[in-house]
Structures are given as structure tokens and as C-alpha cells.
Structure 1
Amino acid sequence: MEDWTLISEVIPSKLYLGSLEAAESAELLERYKIKSVVSIIEVEPKIPGCIKSRKWLCVEDLEDTDLLSQFDSINTFIDKTEKSVLVHCQMGVSRSATLVIAYLIKTGMTFEEAYNHVMKVRPLIAPNNGFIQQLMHYSFKVQPKNKERTQCFLADHWLCPGLDKNDWDVKKKVGFMEQLDSVDFSFGYLLL
């Protein structure tokens, strides 16, 4: 298996996103000079002794799982570490990608910039719909001035992919997204 499927560099020499296999590999952790690990997985991983600090959240990849309440504590953990940090879940696709996107939003990237950056370095990310909704709310809280931009990005990518932007003006899109703010995404599907 190629390294990029196991571990991806998000912020050079600071923040990495990856899988359980990466987190349990002393060779990979040492190669990338990773000294701290955030694990977001149901079973406590077997982290090698080369890791100086770690944080484990016993969390399932379900749409009704509350990650939003964990964003600030994980962001603080990442900020306080002096060395590189690996954030991982089982595959590095949904839970850990959500935490990394939240961290980038907190550091000043818009939701769109953070999502696109993580997608660029790790093209297999796919946060579940519940996590996307939580990231949306976090973005509104941390960057209220970017609310309309975030709503448009979400409408373009999750609700109406492929829609010609000339067919739907921003006001309609934003109004539609404001209505969606109260939608329960626990089933993971939105029929349009």
C-alpha cells in the first residue's frame, strides 16, 4: 500500500491525516517525525512508544455522532503540541478528516478552503453528512462573516452538484440553505 493512502501531510511538518495502520506503524511515524497522535476510533489503538503525547476519542462514524463538542479540545491539543501531529480514524476518511477540516477552519481558512485543501492532499476523504453539518455550524460560529460563502459551497457540492451556477442565483441558494439549517440529517439522505 502506498504511503498516501495511509498518511497525508496537511500542514508541512505540523499536521498529518491518516489511518489506523499509519498510527500503529512506528516506521511511518518516525519517517514523518510525528510525536503526537489524535485517535478517533472505537477501539483504543496500539500506538508505538515513539509517540510523546496522545489523545483518544472513542467515537463511531455515525451521522448522529457529536464531534462538534470535541472540535475546540482537539484544536487546543494540536496547537499545544510542539512536534508533528497525526489525526487518524480507521481509514482517514470521515472522522479524522472532519477534525482536520475543523482545525483548518479555526486557523482562518474558510470551510471551502479547508475542505478543498484536505481533499487535495487526501483525495479519499468523505466526512459523513452529519459531520458536514457540524462543520457548517462550526464554521458559522468561528467565521460568521463567511456564512453565505459556506452555504453556497455546501449547496454546490452536497445538494446540487453539477448545477449550472447561472441557473440558480445566490439569494435562492442561500435561502434554501437557511431552510436546511433545521433539517435532521440523521438518515444521511436528502431527496430533492
Structure 2
Amino acid sequence: MKPEEEPEYQTPPTCDLLSLLLKNRRPTGAVNEVWPNLYIGDVATAQDKSLLRDLGITHVVNAADGPQHIDTGPCFYKDTTIQYHGVGAADCKDFDLSPFFTETADFIHGALSQKGKVLVHCARGISRSATLVLAFLMIKERLTLVEAAEAVRRHRNILPNVGFLNQLCNLDSFLALQRKNNIT
């Protein structure tokens, strides 16, 4: 290998990601800004309209949308100017969250492009919402999965379930291959 060449990026195995996510954990609050104008929070944050107003939240992504989960929806925010995007995801390793990665990343990107502030939440703000934020950072900000996880972990403890981590690994491998093919 020539000195000016970088080694080819490899998506880490899930066990290495879990180690990264579990090391040096410290208390985090109900809501944290994890990227400029992008917040991860829990259900209590999403349901506290005065807090959302104080934070300047303009867009909400509910990663646990629906009557069986957290049934806020656009009607809950009708007395505000908040724009809503719901993803009806179950926090179980067998749920395929990956079909929602691009549409949610597009929603977040559109909001941030308009100088908005986005809250992405689920029940506890640890697994589903974190997975969607990591996917956004990978798709729109062109971060690797490790870079995205490290960026978010600087501000909030997250721990996507193992199924979601595997889906993020697949996305990471796909995006790395796409970047490699676009360069050559």
C-alpha cells in the first residue's frame, strides 16, 4: 500500500458497535441536541408542547407512531406549527426499520435545510429514534456508522437493538460501496 492511500473502510461487526455504544456511558437527559438543530428525546418530551416551543422544535419524527405505540400524530400537534412524520416501528430485533431510513432522512434533511429544529423520539429515545438519526447522518451527512455513532454518543447514550444495528451495518456497507464506486 502506498502511503497516500487510505485503507479501504470496513463496516465493523455488531459486537464492536455494541462495545462502542456501551463504553464510557454517562447520564443523559430526556432530550439532547445530538447534531446541530437535531434532537433525540423520549415520549414525555414529545408530548410537552411548551418544552418543544421553548426548544424551538419545528418538526417531530415519532419513531413509535400509532395507536399501539405512541399515538401523538399530526392531530396532537394541530394547535402548533410543528410538522409531523410518523414511523410505526416496534422496538424488537425482528422489525425491519430500514425501509424508513431514506424517507425519514429526507424529512429531517428538508427540515434542517429550512433552518428548522427536529425532535426524533420514541418511547425512551434510545433505540428506534437513535437508529433513524444514525441513518440520517449516514445518508445525508455522509458519515460512516462509527462516525455517526461517535457523534451522537458525545451528547446522548443510545443503544439500538441488535436487529437495528444489523440494519445500520447493512446500510453502512451499502453506502461505503456506493462512495467507492462513485470515486472510481
Q: What TM-score does the superposition give when structure 1 sets the normalisation length?
A: 0.69
Which residue of the other structure, out of 96, 115, 124, is the alignment partner of 1:66? 96
Where does the alignment leave 5 or more consecutive residues of structure 2 unmatched?
1-27
The number of aligned residues is 143
- Cα separation, partners in 2 of 1:56 and 1:139, compared to 1, 3 Å: same
2:70 to 32, 43, 47: 43
Aligned-residue Cα RMSD (Å) equals: 2.0
User: Partner of 1:128 in structure 2?
Assistant: 161
- Asked whether the equivalents of residues 110 and 146 of structure 1 are also in contact (C-alpha less than 8 Å), the reply is no
**Structure 1 residue aligned with 2:176:** 143
1:6 aligns with 2:30: yes
| Secondary structure of the corresponding residue to residue 154 of structure 2 | helix
Distance 1:18 1:52 in 2: 16
Name whichever of 99-108 and 44-53 sits farther off: 44-53
Q: Which amino acid aligns with 2:144?
A: T
* Residue identity (%): 33
The one-letter code sitting in structure 1 at the alignment partner of 2:48 is: S
Q: How far 1:145 sits from its partner (Å)?
A: 7.3
CA deviation profile, 1:46-101 (whole Å, cap 9, x unmatched)? 64433421011221100010111100000011111221110000000000000001
> How far off its partner does 1:43 sit?
3.0
CA distance in 1 between counterparts of 2:72 and 2:34 reads 22
* Counterpart residue identity of residue 144, structure 1: L
The aligned residue for residue 87 of structure 1 is: 120
The normalised TM-score by structure 2 is: 0.72
Q: Which runs of 5+ in 1 are unaligned?
A: 148-192
> How far apart, CA to CA, are the structure 2 residues paired with 1:72 and 1:146?
17
